[in-house]
Amino acid sequence: METKRFEADWGGRKLVVETGLLAPRANASVTVRYGDSVVLATAVMSKQARENIDFFPLTVEYEERLYASGKIKSSRFIKREGRPSDEAVMTGRMIDRAIRPLFPADVRHEVQVVLTVLSADMENDTDIVGMIGASCVLAMSDIPWKGPIAGVRIGRVNGQLVVNPTLRQVDDESDIDMIVAGTTERTVMLEANGKQVPEADMKAAVFFGMESLKAPIDLISRIVAEIGKAKIDPSRLTGSDPDETEKQRREMEANRAKAAEFLKSRLPAVLFDNPKFTKSERQEALDRLKHEADEYLKSEQFGKDRRTRVLDGFYKMIGAAATEAILDGDRRVDGRSLTDVRPLFGQVGLLPRTHGSGLFQRGETQVLSVTTLGGPGDAQILDGMDQPNLRKRYMHHYNFPPYSCGETGRIGGTGRREIGHGGLAERALIPVLPPKEEFPYVIRVVSEVLSSNGSSSQASICGSTLSLMDAGVPIREPVAGIAMGLASNSDMSRWKVLTDIQDIEDGDGGMDFKIGGTRNGVCTIQLDTKTIGLTREIIEKTLIQGREALDRILAEMSKTIPAPRPELAPHAPRIVTVKIAVDQIRDVIGPGGKMINEIVSTTGVKMDVEDDGTITITSANREGLEAAVRRIKEITRKVEVGEMFRGKVVRIMDFGAFVELTPGQDGMVHISDLAPWHVGKVTDLVNVGDVIPVKVIKIDELGRINLSMKEAKKELGEEQVPPPGYNPRPPMGGGRPFGSGPRPTGGQGGFRH
C-alpha cells in the first residue's frame, strides 16, 4: 500500500504524520510520531443514524498499551490490559472536549475516534500526540467537522515558557502544566495545573500556547489539501425521514421559528416576572411555558404529531431566549447580577468517627467531603504505561449518585465523569499539600455530591479544603473553585461572561470555564465550550472576573474554619518516623520477615521500611506506637565496648554462652570470661534462660561481640565465689590451683584474675 509521510519542526522536535499503511478500513487513519512516542488515530462514522436520541453520539477512546513502554502487567494472574487507567480516561475526555464543539449538532450518525498508543518514549507525553492525531483524521476524512485544530502542552521552566516540555520537566521543574487546544485565534479547550500561579501568568501561558499551534495546524492543512476527502453534507446525517421532501423540511423549520418567536415573547412574563431561586421553581415555569406553547400551536391548527416535532427543540429554544435576555439586559433567571455568586454555606466536623469532614453548599449544589489519613503503606501504586510503579499519596474520589439530581438511576461502577471530576479536584489541592517529609500521611478525600445544580466539581474543591483543615492536615493555603459561563450569539460578535453558572445558563453559545485557586494564584483550569472557540479577550475577562469570585468564596470559607486544626482528630492514626542505617534494615526485617512481623503482631502497628533506612510506624494506639519505636531502637542500637547489659542466655555451647543484648543482637561470653577461676563446664554457672550481667570487652572486625560476666560483676561490686564443694575438671596438660599466681604467658590452661 502507498504510504504518505508529512512532517514539520515543532518545539525543537520532528512531528511526523504517516497514512496509508495501518487501519485502511476506517474512514481515516494516521500514525503521529513525536520523538519516539507514536499514536495510531482512527475515525469511523456509522452507516446508519441512531434512533430516538436528541444529541450528537460521539465517543473518544484513548487506549494505552503497556507494550508501548516495554512493560508487562505486574499482576501475577492477569497480564492483559484491563479497564483503562484514570489517566487514560481523563485524556480521552480531554480530547473529546476539544473536538466535540466543531461537529454539527444535528448529526445522529455515531462517530468514534480511537487513539491507540503504540510507542511511548517516557519523554514526550502521548496525550498531545493523540490530540494531533484526532484532529488530523477528522479533518482528512469525509466526516463533517469544522477543523482542523491542534493541541500543545505548555510548561514554565526557570521562568521561561516551554513548548511541549518533557515528562521530567513537567514533574520536577515546571510550575505550570497547561494543555491548550484550538487555533492561533481561538481556544476550544483548556486543561491547566499551576502551583498558585497568578492569573496574568496563566493568561500569558494560554496566549503563548495559541501562538504555538501554527506548526501542527499548518501540517494538518497540508495533509487535507493533498489527500483529504470531500465532506458529507451534514443534513443527510440527521436521522430524519429520508422520504421527507425539501419543502416539508423548510416548513418544519418555519414552524419551529414561529414557536421560538412565541416563546421569546412569553419568556419575560414567565421566567423573569420574579426571581426563580431554585431549579424546581425554574422547571415549573418552563413546564408552564411549554404548555402555553402547545396551546398556541394548537390554536394555529397544528396536529398533535406536528406539535410534538416542533417542540422537540423546546429547551434549546429556551436556552437561546435566556442567552438573549442576558445579552440584551443582563437579566438572569434567579435575579443575580452577572458577577454574583449564589449563597454560600459551610460546616466542618459533621461525622464523629471520621478523620475530617466538610460540607460545602453553593446555591443548590451541596457536597460532603470526608478525609481519611493512613500510613505510607496505604499509598496507591500506579502500574501504568508511563508510570513506573508510582506511589500516589494523595487521592480524591468523587461520587455522583442519581438522587443528587432528584432522579432515579443505576448505581454501579465509577463512570468517566466521576473519574474526570475527581481528578480535577485532586489536582487543585496537590499544590497546597504539605511535603511528605513534613506530613508523612497518605491522604484520601471522598466527595459525595448530595445535590447538584451547577459545578459540583468546584464545590468538591471547596468541600475538600474544609475537610482537610478539619482533619488537621497542614495545607499551605485554602483552595476554592468557581465555574464561569458565557452568553454569546452565533458569530460571537456579542458576548458576556457569567459568574457561577447553573442549569439553564449552560446552553449553546456558552462555556464551562472552571477555575480553582488560592488567594495567591491559580491551581487548576478546565474549559469546555459550546462555541467555535474563545478569543483572547474572553479568556482575559474570565480570569479577572473569576479571581473576584474566588476571593469572595475563600472569605466565606474562612468563617467556617480559618486554618487547619492544630492537632489530628482523636481517631486518626499517629505516625512516627525512625531513621536507621541502611545496613541495619536487615536486622529490623529479620530472616524471612520474622522480626518485623513479630513487632507488628505484638504492638498492633503498621510499619513501612524504605530503602534509605526510613521506617514509618503508624498506629491509632499510642502505647503500641511507643512499644514499636522502643523495639526498633533496641534492635538497631549500636553496642560499644565498655557498655554493661543484663541479658538473657539464649544458647549454650561448649566454649561459652550466647547472651541477648538487644532484640536480634547477641554477644558471646567465652567460658574463660564467666568467672575469675577455671570453669569446667559452661552449665556449671549459667543455663539457657538465665539473666546475667555482662560487659562488652571487644567487637571484632566482623562485628562479633565478646562479653565478660566476670568483668561485669567486678565492676558492679558483685563478688564471685566458687560454689561450696566446686571441683572443676582440671584443664588438659595440668593446671595451677586457684589464686596461685598470675597466668603464664604461653601455653594452654591457667587462670585469669
DSSP structure class, residue 277: -
Are residues 222 and 200 in contact, defined by beta-carbon separation less than 8 angstroms?
no
pLDDT surpasses 50 at 39: yes
pLDDT surpasses 60 at 739: no
Are residues 28 and 138 in contact, defined by beta-carbon separation less than 8 angstroms?
yes
pLDDT number for residue 748: 36
753/148: higher pLDDT: 148
**Is 344-560 a domain of CATH 3.20.20.450?**
no
Least confident of 73-87, 295-309, 348-362, 474-488: 295-309
pLDDT surpasses 80 at 246: no
Q: How many residues does the chain have?
A: 753
User: If you average pLDDT over residues 300-326, what whole number do you get?
Assistant: 79
CB-side exposure of 418: number of CA atoms within 13 Å? 15
Place of cell 493533498: 226
Fold for the domain defined by 574-635: Ribosomal Protein S8; Chain: A, domain 1 (3.30.1370)
Separation of alpha carbons 450 and 446, rounded Å = 12
Q: In what order do the strands lie in the sheet with 606-609?
A: 574-579, 614-619, 606-609
pLDDT-based confidence at residue 518 (cuts at 50, 70, 90): very high
CA 152 to chain centre: 21
Are residues 658 and 651 in contact, defined by beta-carbon separation less than 8 angstroms?
yes
Summarize pLDDT for 51-93 with one digit per residue, the tens. Answer: 888 889 999 999 999 999 898 888 888 888 888 889 999 999 9
User: If you average pLDDT over residues 299-322, what whole number do you get?
Assistant: 78
209: its cell numbers: 500556547
Q: Taking the CA atoms of the chain, what radius of gyration do you get in angstroms?
A: 37
Summarize pLDDT for 186-206 with one digit per residue, the tens. Answer: 999 999 999 999 999 999 999
User: If you average pLDDT over residues 695-718, what whole number do you get?
Assistant: 89
112: its cell numbers: 468514534
pLDDT surpasses 90 at 294: no
Q: Residues of 258-295 as b/e, b for ≥16 C-beta within 10 angstroms?
A: ebbebbeebbeebbbeeebbebeebeebbeebbeebbe
Q: Taking the domain 639-753, which CATH number applies?
A: 2.40.50.140
pLDDT number for residue 511: 93
pLDDT number for residue 262: 81
CB-side exposure of 495: number of CA atoms within 13 Å? 23
pLDDT surpasses 70 at 744: no
DSSP structure class, residue 534: B
pLDDT surpasses 60 at 747: no
CA 116 to chain centre: 22
**Closest CA relative to residue 186, chosen from 486, 452, 402:** 486
What percent of the chain is predicted at pLDDT more than 70? 95
pLDDT surpasses 80 at 16: yes
Give 689's strand partners: none
Three-point CA angle 459, 464, 468, nearest 5°: 155
Sequence spans of domains, the chain: 4-232, 250-329, 344-560, 574-635, 639-753
Separation of alpha carbons 258 and 237, rounded Å = 25
Summarize pLDDT for 564-589 with one digit per residue, the tens. Answer: 999 998 889 999 888 888 888 988 88
pLDDT number for residue 321: 79
Amino acid in position 225: A
pLDDT number for residue 728: 66
pLDDT number for residue 388: 63
Does this chain's domain 4-232 share its CATH topology with 344-560?
Answer: yes
3-state secondary structure 275-314: CCCCHHHHHHHHHHHHHHHHHHHHHCCCCHHHHHHHHHHH
pLDDT surpasses 50 at 719: yes
441/274: higher pLDDT: 441
pLDDT-based confidence at residue 240 (cuts at 50, 70, 90): confident
User: If you average pLDDT over residues 502-512, what whole number do you get?
Assistant: 84
pLDDT number for residue 258: 80
pLDDT number for residue 242: 63
Is the pTM for the entire model greater than 0.75? yes
Summarize pLDDT for 367-396 with one digit per residue, the tens. Answer: 999 999 998 888 888 877 876 668 899 999
Strands 187-197 and 356-362: unpaired
107/507: higher pLDDT: 107
Give 41's strand partners: 30, 115
Least confident of 243-247, 289-293, 709-713: 243-247
Tell me what the pLDDT averaged over the chain comes to.
Answer: 89
pLDDT-based confidence at residue 283 (cuts at 50, 70, 90): confident
Separation of alpha carbons 579 and 608, rounded Å = 12
Q: Considering the domain 4-232, what is its CATH architecture?
A: 2-Layer Sandwich (3.30)
Determine the 3-state secondary structure of 191 from DSSP.
Answer: strand
